[in-house]
A = this chain, B = another copy of it.
Amino acid sequence: MSNAYNRPDQLSPELRKRVLDTARRLGYPGPDPVARSLRTRKAGAVGLLLTENLSYAFRDPGAISFLEGLSLACEDAGHGLLLIPASPEREDVASVHRAGVDGFVVYSVPEDDPHLAAVLERPVPVVVCDQPRLDNLDWVGPDDARAIKSMADHLIKLGHRRIGVSCMRLARGRNDGLASVQRQANASFHVQKSRLTALAESFSEAGVDWTKVPVVERFDHTAASGASAARQLLDLDPDITAIVCTSDILALGALNEARSRGLRVPEDLTVTGFDGIADAERAGLTTVRQPVLEKGRAAGRLLLETSEPGRPREVVLETQLITGTTAAPPRSREERWFGP
């Protein structure tokens, strides 16, 4: 009978049909998937752990593209994709324990996330995407430092020396405001940290005192946050010539804020982003594009391919500086006040 369901080739078609018909007539609903999983030690599904509320994954364009890529890989392998409810507020790790999956993809979570710890305890393969960087774990992501360095160099070449930075959440706790150099250094979100570090390095080399550069952090990753961050930066120092954002969403918000202040971009203010989401490219944002869909697909593939244990793999994705229309040489203070 098990054969009738699982190995059609092991018995004659008519017998198979007879068995199946009888089973159905008796009200047998087919093999129980959970019992089968227990026996075969295969769940046929991949678990996805996100930092945010589940629903956030469907609101962030980057996350959506990532999911698209990941689902492509899962589909190719005939695997399901289990989205694990793990809100940052709730410390409830049970959902990770309950997940019947053959492995986990961890997407951009802080190193000290309790859900991550729970995932790592499970005896199944794990692939990390973006962050955190952990030894012994497969990883896929862009070379963040190198990518943002290309942006920094671009801005430095344009002549910007007095800048402000708008960045995403640096740690699990909410902090909407200035991020001290110390907070930057202690960030538990590796991606943000390495972007800031690379920015600091580039601008320091160009003679900028990084301790004087205002870095404003926002917990929520929305355009509204980006606008308020830009507002804070411009209030703090109206003479900054550029706002460097560590994501396109924040940059799009900054663009809105500039507009509502009557600042022309890029004449009065340069704004840059990171990611290369569709909305940003549509808006002509100067940004760094990373292949987000490909990232998801690579993460899925890595997880579903068998790997040699003890030899963590690494997929580094190419990034590309997109010169849009939101970055230009800064104007002198006088020009800014009195027009062209």
Contact = CB atoms under 8 A, between A and B. Distances in A.
B87 A29 contact: no
Contacts of A45: 82, 98-100
Interface residues of A, number: 48
Contacts of A83: 71, 74, 80-83
A100 B59 contact: no
A80 B82 contact: yes
Contacts of A237: none
A34 interface: yes
Nearest to A94: B78
Contact of A55 (B36, B71, B84): B71
Interface in A1-56: 29-38, 43-45, 47, 53-55
A32 B53 CA distance: 25
A43 B37 CA distance: 12
A122 interface: yes
B78 A92 contact: yes
Interface of A: 29-38, 43-45, 47, 53-55, 57-59, 64-65, 67-69, 71-72, 74-75, 78-85, 87, 92, 94-95, 97-100, 121-123
The 10 closest A-B pairs by CB, nearest first: A58-B68, A54-B71, A44-B98, A75-B85, A81-B83, A29-B123, A34-B37, A55-B72, A82-B82, A100-B100
Given A55-B68, A71-B85, 15 more contacts: A30-B121, A33-B98, A33-B99, A34-B37, A37-B37, A55-B71, A55-B72, A58-B67, A58-B68, A78-B85, A78-B94, A80-B82, A82-B82, A83-B83, A100-B100
